[in-house]
């Protein structure tokens, strides 16, 4: 599993969150948490797809 690219993605996500929060967009936060979990699901699907192609 590629830990490093994931942590970079995490960092940029949190940076964006902070910017949004500073801008005063309070309602944005929960919605983005949902988006993040959706992103993580897509990421997992990609990882599994990659594993399948490697094994197959």
pLDDT score at 9:
80
Structural domain count of the chain: 1
Interval 6-43: pLDDT, tens: 688 878 877 877 776 666 655 555 666 777 777 788 88
Q: Which domain holds residue 47?
A: 27-56
Flag whether 8 is in a domain: no
pLDDT value at position 34?
A: 72
Q: What is the 8-class DSSP label of residue 26? A: -
Query: Whole-prediction pTM value?
Result: 0.28
In a domain? residue 46 = yes
**Nearest-5° angle of CA 34, CA 39, CA 40?**
100
Q: Give the pLDDT score at 24.
A: 62
- Per-residue confidence at 49, pLDDT binned at 50, 70, 90? confident
Residue 32 lies in a domain: yes
CA-to-CA dists, residue 34 to 11, 25, 49, 50, 55, angstroms: 17, 16, 23, 24, 32
């Amino acid at each position: 599993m590629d830990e490093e690219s994931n942590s970079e993605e995490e960092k940029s996500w949190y940076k964006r969150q902070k910017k949004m929060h500073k801008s005063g967009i309070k309602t944005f936060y929960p919605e983005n948490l949902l988006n993040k979990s959706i992103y993580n699901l897509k990421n997992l699907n990609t990882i599994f797809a990659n594993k399948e192609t490697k094994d197959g």
